[in-house]
Amino acid sequence: MTVDLIAVLVAVQAGTPLVMTLDRERALPSGPFALGHRSLQSGLRAWVEQQTHHPLGYVEQLYTFADKDRAGEGGARTISISYLGLTRALSDAESGWCSWYAYFPWEDHRAGPPPLIAAQIAPALSGWAQSAPDPAEQAARRQRVAIAFGLDGQPWNEELALQRYELLYEAALVPERRHVDTAPAFAGLAGLADLADLGRPMIGDHRRILATAIARLRAKIKYRPVVFELLPPTFTLLQLQRCVEGLAGRTLHKQNFRRLMEQQELVEETGATTAEGIGRPAKLFRFRAAVLAERAVAGTKLPLARS
């Protein structure tokens, strides 16, 4: 048995959420916990900076993964303690950053529902549901699939990123599950072995951990102003909106979003402007740090506006 620390290090560039990866984009930064570190977080910061040459800003613990049936390569039992870290320092010369939608293409709904849900995921999961041993379990599976993927009249909930991946894992539709099992979950999947569009695989539990981080961050931006950890010190309202849209995988109504910013007093004008495409210069804003003290007890909502 080994104990690893795993970091989901997130940045946003041009409205695209990026995650730091290693090993040809197949792994998250990870390493063994060293007893010499003062705390888990200090250990995490030390080896993330060593592996990625990137300092960590905001950090929070995600989850401890220790499921017996999720052994790493070679069969060794691994306990993984995962962390979510946010950073805004990115340069074009840096490598290892990859869009998190490369691993979860069904999660990006900014241009509407991705076609692969209707074309591949829904039929495959329908067959998996039908393969359940009794009618009650079949109905329960169909309901889980409908809620998770927004089917049969159910709304799409961007916070269910982990549940969606777990369904695909349970139905043996992702390579990570087939690495553990010698046979697919049901015979009907034999002809679906090449579902190459279901995102890039990762080693061990790393894609599950990434899904956990996506779900956590999508929920957190609605009640804590952590999105500003991903932005430069000054930004336009359009840059802020694109950042939120990229993280949520949903589009926002421009006027409603700006009205929300005004009502919650999260940002303030700097007095400066910047050229942003064609048209008049856009105003530059900064995060009102005082809002953290003003709302330390009540919290600060950043709800998603639906277009």
157 domain-assigned: yes
| Total domain count, the chain | 3
197 domain-assigned: no
Are 121 and 74 part of one and the same domain?
no
**pTM of the predicted model, to two decimals?**
0.87
Structure tokens that stand for 91 in this block: 């340069």
Dihedral sign from CA coordinates of 291, 297, 298, 299: positive
With residues binned 3-state (H G I as helix, E B as strand, rest as coil), the percentages for the chain, rounded to 5, are 40, 20, 40
SS3 for 46-102 is HHHHHHHCCCCCEEEEEEEECCCCCCCCCCCCEEEEEEEEECCCCCCCCCCEEEHHH
For residue 13, the surrounding DSSP H or E stretch is: strand 2-13
> φ and ψ at 244, to 5 degrees?
-65, -45
pLDDT tens digit sequence for 83-100: 999 987 666 656 789 999
- Calculate what percentage of the chain has a pLDDT beyond 90: 51
β-strand partners of 84: 8, 60
CA distance 255 to 45: 39
Give the HSE-up count for residue 105: Cα atoms under 13 Å, Cβ half-sphere.
16
User: Does pLDDT of 191 surpass 50?
Assistant: no
272 domain-assigned: yes
pLDDT tens digit sequence for 144-156: 999 999 999 999 9
CA distance 302 to 298: 13
Structure tokens that stand for 12 in this block: 């946003």
Question: Is 210 within 8 Å of 157 (Cβ atoms)?
Answer: no
Quickly list H helices, the chain.
40-52, 115-116, 122-130, 135-149, 161-170, 175-180, 206-220, 237-248, 254-264, 290-294
278 domain-assigned: yes
Check residues 31 and 205 and name the one with the higher pLDDT. Answer: 205
238 domain-assigned: yes
Are 20 and 90 part of one and the same domain?
yes
- What does the pLDDT read at residue 149? 98
Are 46 and 72 part of one and the same domain?
yes
User: Does pLDDT of 105 surpass 90?
Assistant: yes
- Calculate what percentage of the chain has a pLDDT beyond 70: 77
- What does the pLDDT read at residue 195? 58
Structure tokens that stand for 255 in this block: 């006027």
User: Does pLDDT of 183 surpass 70?
Assistant: no
pLDDT tens digit sequence for 28-80: 988 776 656 566 677 677 766 776 676 677 888 898 877 655 454 555 667 88
96 domain-assigned: yes
CATH code, domain carrying 258: 1.10.10.10
Burial of 307 (0-12, 13-18, 19+ CB in 10 A): exposed
Domain boundary among 192, 214, 249: 192
Range 236-246 average pLDDT: 95
- What does the pLDDT read at residue 133? 93
Are 9 and 96 part of one and the same domain?
yes
- What does the pLDDT read at residue 139? 97
User: Does pLDDT of 193 surpass 50?
Assistant: no
217 domain-assigned: no
Are 97 and 117 part of one and the same domain?
no
Are 176 and 240 part of one and the same domain?
no
Are 188 and 113 part of one and the same domain?
yes
How confident is the prediction for the chain on average, in pLDDT? Answer: 83
164 domain-assigned: yes
Domain boundary among 145, 172, 192: 192
- Tell me which residue range forms the domain holding 176: 109-192
User: Does pLDDT of 9 surpass 80?
Assistant: yes
User: Does pLDDT of 109 surpass 90?
Assistant: yes
- What does the pLDDT read at residue 176? 86
